[in-house]
Amino acid sequence: MKAGILKAGMLVKIKHSEPSAENMGLIIECDSITPRSPAKVQRFDGNTYWICSILLEEVKPSDKKLEKNT
C-alpha cells in the first residue's frame, strides 16, 4: 500500500520504527491528500488521537491470520 492512501474505517497500526509501534485502531477521520496528512484514530481502549498518516500502515487480512497463528 502506498503511503497516504488511507480511508476512514481502515484498521491500522503504527509502523515499527515509532515508539508506540504496533498500537492498533480504526481510522475515524482522514484527509489523505498527502502522506503527511493527519488521521484521527480510535484505539480499542477508546482513546482517540491525531497522527501523521505516514506513520500508519493498514492491517491486512493476511496480517490478522499471522497474528492468530503465533
Contacts of 67 (CB under 8 A, 6+ apart): none
Q: State the pTM of this model.
A: 0.71
Position with higher pLDDT, 17 vs 26? 26
- pLDDT attached to residue 1: 40
For the chain, the domains span 11-69
| Residue whose entry in the numeric block shows the C-alpha cell 484527509 | 31
Beta carbons within 10 angstroms of residue 8's beta carbon: 12
pLDDT tens per residue across span 20-65? 777 899 999 987 667 778 999 999 888 999 998 888 989 887 775 5
Taking the C-alpha atoms of residue 20 and residue 32, their distance in angstroms, rounded to an integer, is 22
User: 68 pLDDT exceeds 50?
Assistant: yes
Taking the C-alpha atoms of residue 53 and residue 69, their distance in angstroms, rounded to an integer, is 28
